[in-house]
Amino acid sequence: MDYESTAKKILQRVGGKENVISLVHCMTRLRFVLKDESIVDDEAVKKTKGVMGIMKKAGQYQIIIGNDVGNVFAELMKLGNFSNEAPKKTETKQEKKNMFSMLMDTISGIMAPVIPAIIGAAMIKVLLTLLPMIGILSTEGYTYNLLSVMGDGAFFFMPVLIAISASKKFGTNMYYAASIALIMLHPNFISLMNGAQEAGETVKFLKFIPVTYASYSYSVIPIILAVWSLKYVEKLVDKITPVVTKNFLKPMLVVLIEAPIALIVLGPLGAICGNVLSDVVYAIHDKLGFIAIGLVAGVYPFVVMAGMHHAFTPIKLGMIATTGFENFICIGELCSNMAQGAAALAVSIKSKNKDFKQIAGSSAFSALFAGITEPALYGVTVRLKRPMLGACIGGAVGGLFGGFFQLKCFGIATPAIVTIVQYVEEGRPSSLLIAALTILLTVAVTFIVTMFLGFEDVVDEDEEDLDMMITEAMAEPLPEEMQITIASPLEGKRIPLYEVNDATFAQEILGKGCAIVPETGVIYAPFDGKVDMMFETGHAAGLVSEDGVELLIHMGIDTVNLEGKYFHPKKKSGDTVKKGEVLIEFERQAILDAGYDITTPVIVTNSDQFAKIDTIETEHVSAMDELIYIR
């Protein structure tokens, strides 16, 4: 890479040095604080050779470079003597002001990892609709009942799944969190509350404290509030229990204190909040009727871009649990997904760029048949702009049509062509035709509008990009006996990258690998090699193995803002290391208390040089266990 040329292009495309307030860098990205982000040409920045992507977060304009970030940063500093003071996390006033946005972001962040389990259960429910319809399965047999249990399990015990996810978000003990959820769903508790309600009585704790009736199966917000409070209960109990009694007294006190708080205060409060949120959403539907569905379908891509779409899942679940169907958000989602797919399909047909035609075509298939719209949204419609307008128009038209003919959704599987049966209403055969026509109209209008509006076709910045793609495509797997194994650099819970709450890692922009939620405060060298770069703040390290594997270990998300506090590097850049040697020690609990996510991505940053990279499936790993396999 020509670092000087890259730096000049980046500076020009972010508005010149007069638009830069400060510039710092972490292990993988340049972090600009700009006077005016609106004047930045995002697309031009993305096309710059050496730039992997951009992010706008916490008041920073972040440009993802990868391993060469230090060299590009050095060239940028030559072009302008920029301040290198990173803004403190506590100074982000906008985040403090917008409480609703913070709430939606929290709910969305907690819901996202749970979605695969929900989709799996929802698809079984789709089968329960489809198979009896075509005469393969009887609704009276044991098989149907067993499949019904499989399809309903994840929904009925939703608070347990949410508790596990929320414990990661809030940095609490996962097993305490799950225990509280199980208490809220215990059959005896449900029976007790139902019996008291039917008898017109009030259940009282310790004879005087009333326990408000609420149903927690299928619910989301009550357990989120409970797990949030668990964080503070754990800290309190940890302070008041003597060291010699912690093994048995602390667990007992945590549950004994938190369970009543959850059942008496936060559970009912969460149920009320959930009902209010649902009432507000559906009041809009009641007021505007089918027009509201068209509006939702038209603007839904921007909801996805804001990362707030998962926040609607609790509302949809509550509506389906109460009425048996949902006829607002799910219809808008279906039309939005189909519109993204149709817009990408139009681009695939019209584009003259062979590589981009393939990208758009695969994105269209993904959106139309699987309901996965991110490739079409970020890779095609947002990138080209005018196809996004076509998708919004087509989605709105389809939403108006489906809403006018009262289309309903009876499941929560990802809206797509293959899940159309979840829109079939029992006793209303025409509902299948209405669903099909809704999809057809959405696709047709979006396709025609996108073709009519046209777009500025993608042009590669230079031929070097194409050469790189060809080189990557020609990568050959290593022979079986030459498989490279990377050990786990720390102990904790292994999670796939897509669960990491940072798009740069989750979308594998920097490379393939996995992430670990650490249970200890030590990071070890996972192989023999050298420290290519130990960042001065100690929150991340870049290593190179003797086999040529370039590995990034990034402790936590946005922990660069701690400016080295709580991190204690034991090696420096250029040091040779042996497998098992200590690289970094960090104060795990202190970082959590400071409000940071400690999830630690472990990334093979030169993934393009290898044909296949796999990770173990084991949930828990110890330091030096096998973690990544490279061929």
Q: Which residues pair with 425 in a beta bridge?
A: 428
Domains in the chain: how many in total?
4
| Burial class of 540 by CB neighbour count within 10 A (0 to 12, 13 to 18, 19+) | buried
The answer on 545 and 531 residing in a single domain is yes
From 51, 86, 121, the end of a domain falls on 86
Query: Quick check: is 140 in a domain?
Result: no
Q: Is residue 462's pLDDT more than 80?
A: no
The CA angle 591-592-595, to the nearest 5 degrees, is: 95
| Between residues 424 and 305, the one the model is more confident about | 424
Enter the DSSP assignment of 326. Answer: B
Q: Mean of the pLDDT values across residues 123-137? A: 79
List pLDDT tens digits, range 480-535: 556 889 999 999 999 988 888 887 787 777 888 999 999 999 999 999 999 988 88
Which pLDDT band, with edges at 50, 70 and 90, does 121 fall under?
Answer: confident
b/e 353-387 (16+ beta carbons within 10 angstroms → b): eeebbebbbebbbbbbeebbbebbbbbbbbbbebb
b/e 324-335 (16+ beta carbons within 10 angstroms → b): ebbbbbbbbbbb
The alpha carbon of 56 is separated from its chain's Cα centroid by a whole number of angstroms, namely 16
Is the four-CA dihedral 168, 173, 178, 184 of positive or negative sign? negative
From 86, 102, 117, the end of a domain falls on 86
Residue 590: which CATH number? 2.70.70.10
C-alpha torsion 576→582→584→589, nearest 10? 170
The answer on 443 and 305 residing in a single domain is yes
Query: Quick check: is 460 in a domain?
Result: no
Q: Is residue 468's pLDDT more than 60?
A: no
> By C-alpha distance, which of 556, 566, 563, 560 is closest to 598?
556
DSSP H helices, 313-353, are 313-323, 329-350
Enter the DSSP assignment of 329. Answer: H
| Burial class of 256 by CB neighbour count within 10 A (0 to 12, 13 to 18, 19+) | exposed
Contacts of 422 (CB under 8 A, 6+ apart): 122, 125, 126, 129, 409, 410, 411, 412, 413
Which pLDDT band, with edges at 50, 70 and 90, does 358 fall under?
Answer: confident
Distance CA 357, CA 459 (A): 12
Q: Mean of the pLDDT values across residues 206-222? A: 85
Is the four-CA dihedral 366, 369, 370, 376 of positive or negative sign? positive
Contacts of 217 (CB under 8 A, 6+ apart): 155, 156, 157, 158, 159, 185, 190, 321
Out of 26, 392, 409, 514, pick the active-site residue: 26
Residue range(s) defining the domain that contains residue 17: 3-86
Distance CA 29, CA 50 (A): 11
The answer on 163 and 30 residing in a single domain is no
- Decide if 26 is catalytic: yes
User: Rounded to 5 degrees, what are φ and ψ at 381?
Assistant: -70, -45
Query: Quick check: is 151 in a domain?
Result: no
Share of the chain above pLDDT 90, in %: 34
Which pLDDT band, with edges at 50, 70 and 90, does 92 fall under?
Answer: very low
Least confident of 166-170, 313-317, 471-475, 582-586: 471-475
What per-residue confidence (pLDDT) applies to 105?
Answer: 64
Q: Is residue 317's pLDDT more than 80?
A: no
Q: Mean of the pLDDT values across residues 618-623? A: 90
Distance CA 110, CA 310 (A): 9
What per-residue confidence (pLDDT) applies to 465?
Answer: 47
Longest dimension (CA), the chain: 78
Q: Are 299 and 392 in contact (CB under 8 A)?
A: yes
Contacts of 602 (CB under 8 A, 6+ apart): 486, 488, 489, 513, 514, 515, 516, 526, 551, 552, 553, 627, 628
| Between residues 59 and 14, the one the model is more confident about | 14
- pTM comes to 0.52
Residue that the structure tokens 């998708």 belong to: 391
Q: Is 35 left (phi over 0), alpha (psi -120 to 50) or beta?
A: alpha
Most confident of 60-74, 106-120, 182-196, 479-493: 182-196
> By C-alpha distance, which of 485, 475, 496 is closest to 602?
496
Q: Are 318 and 362 in contact (CB under 8 A)?
A: no
The answer on 489 and 624 residing in a single domain is yes
DSSP code per residue over 396-436: HHHHHHHHHTT--B---SPPSGGGGGGGPBTTBTHHHHHHH
What per-residue confidence (pLDDT) applies to 366?
Answer: 79
Query: Quick check: is 104 in a domain?
Result: no
Distance CA 29, CA 575 (A): 23
Mean pLDDT for the chain overall: 84
Query: Quick check: is 328 in a domain?
Result: yes
The answer on 422 and 302 residing in a single domain is yes
The answer on 293 and 278 residing in a single domain is no
Query: Quick check: is 127 in a domain?
Result: no
Distance CA 196, CA 230 (A): 28
Number of H helices, E strands in the chain: 24, 20
Distance CA 554, CA 606 (A): 15
| Between residues 464 and 75, the one the model is more confident about | 75
Residue that the structure tokens 């609106």 belong to: 38
The answer on 349 and 309 residing in a single domain is yes
Beta strand pairing call for 529-534 and 540-545: antiparallel
Residue 44: which CATH number? 3.30.1360.60
What per-residue confidence (pLDDT) applies to 508?
Answer: 79
| Between residues 529 and 49, the one the model is more confident about | 529
Query: Quick check: is 393 in a domain?
Result: yes
> By C-alpha distance, which of 605, 504, 497 is closest to 31?
504
Which pLDDT band, with edges at 50, 70 and 90, does 378 fall under?
Answer: low
Distance CA 283, CA 300 (A): 18
List pLDDT tens digits, range 541-580: 999 998 889 999 999 988 888 888 899 999 988 899 999 9
The answer on 383 and 273 residing in a single domain is no
The answer on 486 and 371 residing in a single domain is no
